[in-house]
Amino acid sequence: MEAHPEEFSVESLETPALTKAQLAELLFDRIGLNKRESKDMVDAFFELICSSLIEGQDVKISGFGNFQIRTKAPRPGRNPRTGESIPIEARRVVTFHASHKLKEQLQS
């Protein structure tokens, strides 16, 4: 789905973020799926992305960007209130890198 600025803008939404419910509503309005099918499709899409990332697979969405799993090493940290030194454990994090196409659209 390619969003065109004249058809849809985040500024026109009631909240400053695009929600799953709003995505389902857009599928209902634009494609004609019923509301239950729209909600199920949005949920399935995000479940697929989450399960792929949990399994350690990167997710690449052409024209949008890449979600990648990165493993951060353990490191020493410090409690900002007390100054006490505390260890920060190794962990996996998700990073997002926008595609060149998305970056170009954001600049225009």
Q: Which two tokens stand for residue 107?
A: 């600049």
Statement to judge: residues 51 and 84 lie in one domain: no
What is the residue range of 45's domain?
A: 1-56
Statement to judge: residues 90 and 52 lie in one domain: no
Which of 56, 74, 97 is the last residue before a domain boundary?
A: 56
How many domains are there within the chain? 2
Q: Bridge partners of 90?
A: none
Q: Whole-angstrom Cα distance, residue 42 to residue 24? A: 6
pTM for the structure as a whole: 0.70
Give the CATH number of the domain where residue 5 resides.
Answer: 4.10.520.10
Average pLDDT, 10 consecutive residues per value, the chain (108 residues): 48 71 91 91 96 96 96 94 95 96 93
Statement to judge: residues 76 and 87 lie in one domain: yes
